[in-house]
């Protein structure tokens, strides 16, 4: 079941704004790609991008030769726009319209990527549910990449409150099932010439 209010918010965003008219727009998701390359995962690995919106990460993954990619978002419009951009290549991707809070994966993932979706979860039960979802849906030794607003990042994203994280607070949340591989802070230049501080972190699922 999709949270209708949340769905409406995101449908409104993607129906009314062009790709480069949202603060999170990136022509090329360099930091995500940098991290993914450092993980050396093989091309048959199953990958999911959570709350992908219109992100071009999927384009890069296809170009790199990954064959088993799922893209999930609560907004059908965002998914349709991403499909349209990719044209025939969109047939190589498994597209999922779902609220991550109610997502029931059909398979396990070797890589779970989430840039700026997890940080919208504010309620403790939603955060715990997401953590248990990653625990149940990522393969042993699989990888989890999260990018959230950092402790110095904005309090809101797309007009919605977010939870900001430090490296320590994210490790604390995920430490029962994941060990830290890498983390860094980076400044994202928005299309409006402002900066947003992000924390990127990659974890490895414990065996
Ligand atoms: C700030 S945007 C980031 C988009 C993309 N990850 C990127 O880096 O360009 C947040 C995205 O998360 C999606 N989203 C927000 N809440 C969600 C939820 N509960 N379930 C699934 N997707 C969600 C939104 O539709 C939106 O596309």
Domains of the chain and any CATH numbers = 4-12+25-205 (3.40.50.150)
From 124, 125, 146, select the one nearest 134 (Cα to Cα). Answer: 146
State the chain's mean pLDDT as an integer: 97
Ligand 1: centre distance to CA 183 (Å): 21
For the CA of 53, the nearest atom of ligand 1: 27
* Average pLDDT rounded to a whole number, residues 172-191: 98
* Three-state DSSP class for residue 160: strand
Ligand 1 atom at minimal distance to the Cα of residue 3: 19
pLDDT at residue 2, as a whole number = 78
- Rounded to 10°, the helix 57-64/30-39 angle is 40
Is residue 45 within 8 Å of 65, Cβ to Cβ? no
The sheet with strand 46-50 has its strands ordered as 93-97, 68-73, 46-50, 109-115, 138-149, 195-205, 178-189
pLDDT tier for residue 52 given thresholds of 50, 70 and 90: very high
Specify the 3-state DSSP secondary structure of 31.
helix
pLDDT surpasses 80 at 1 = no
pLDDT > 90: percent of the chain: 99
The protein residue whose alpha carbon is closest to atom 1 in ligand 1 is 116
Strands 178-189 and 156-157: unpaired
Distance of CA 100 from the midpoint of ligand 1 (Å): 9
pLDDT at residue 169, rounded to an integer: 98
Of 181, 156, 160, the closest CA to residue 170 belongs to: 181
| DSSP string over 65-115 | T--EEEEEES-HHHHHHHHHHHGGGGGGEEEEE--GGG---SS-EEEEEEE
Q: Which of 28, 74, 85 to mutate to test the pocket of ligand 1 (most atoms within 8 A of CB)?
A: 74
pLDDT in tens, 152-169: 999 999 999 999 999 999
């Amino acid at each position: 079941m999709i949270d209708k209010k949340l769905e409406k918010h995101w449908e409104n965003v993607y129906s009314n704004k062009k790709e480069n008219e949202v603060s999170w727009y990136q022509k090329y998701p360099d930091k995500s790609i940098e991290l993914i390359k450092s993980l050396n995962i093989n091309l048959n690995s199953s990958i999911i991008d959570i709350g992908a919106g219109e992100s071009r990460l999927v384009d890069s993954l296809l170009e790199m030769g990954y064959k088993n990619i799922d893209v999930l978002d609560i907004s059908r419009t965002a998914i349709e726009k991403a499909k349209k951009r990719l044209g025939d290549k969109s047939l190589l991707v498994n597209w999922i319209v779902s609220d991550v809070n109610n997502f029931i994966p059909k398979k396990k993932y070797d890589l779970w990527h989430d840039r700026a979706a997890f940080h919208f979860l504010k309620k403790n039960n939603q955060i715990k549910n997401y953590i248990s979802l990653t625990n149940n849906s990522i393969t042993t030794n699989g990888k989890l990449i999260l990018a959230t607003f950092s402790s110095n990042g904005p309090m809101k994203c797309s007009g919605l409150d977010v939870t900001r994280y430090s490296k320590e607070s994210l490790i604390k949340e995920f430490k029962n099932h994941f060990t830290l591989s890498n983390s860094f802070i980076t400044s994202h230049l928005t299309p409006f010439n402002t900066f947003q501080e992000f924390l990127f972190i990659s974890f490895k699922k414990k065996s």
